Amino acid sequence: MTDAERLQAIYRHESRTLLQYMLEASPWCDPADATSHHALLDSMKAERLRLAELATVMQSQQIALPYLGAFTAAYTSYNFCSLRSVLPLLLAETRATLPQLIEYRQAMTDANPWLTAWVEHKEKLLHTLEAWSQSLTTPRSA
């Protein structure tokens, strides 16, 4: 696989994750979780901006942007649900994706600063999701 193919695969996959879908799916939260909810929404928006940066990098290197297609139909059952209910899925998806991204980064023949920053972003996102998950499992004081 060439570096261009790796970047196309990353762009295609990361543009159609559950995290990106939830940004468009009107997630809601308990008012007590509002701070975590807003932090996660900010992370989702930042991820979308980083993907736009990748598109710019790819175009500057004459790499064609791949066809993205629709989000998987399995995501439609998560419309208008709470972020709390999809948090385990977001965690699982992020945990599953990170090793592949690290492998791609190590396999790149040219150091790609965008990909390094993306892996760091995903690691930070994973820590944020794990922290939020821990805070949700801690009983609230009455």
pLDDT at site 25: 82
Q: For the chain, what are the domain ranges? A: 3-137
- Give the alpha-carbon dihedral of 72, 5, 116, 110, to 10 degrees: 180
Alpha carbon separation from 116 to 50, 54, 69, 96, 108 (Å, rounded): 12, 12, 26, 18, 11
Residue 81 has pLDDT above 90, yes or no: no
User: What percent of the chain is helix, strand and coil (3-state, nearest 5)?
Assistant: 75, 0, 25
What pTM, to 2 d.p., does this model score?
Answer: 0.85
pLDDT in tens, 89-130: 999 999 999 999 999 988 887 768 888 899 999 999 999 889
Q: Which CATH architecture has domain 3-137?
A: Up-down Bundle (1.20)
* The pLDDT value given to residue 142: 45
141, pLDDT greater than 60: no
Q: Mind listing the pLDDT tens digit for each residue in 10-55? A: 999 999 999 999 888 877 777 877 777 788 888 888 889 999 999 9
The arithmetic mean of pLDDT across residues 64-84, rounded, is: 88
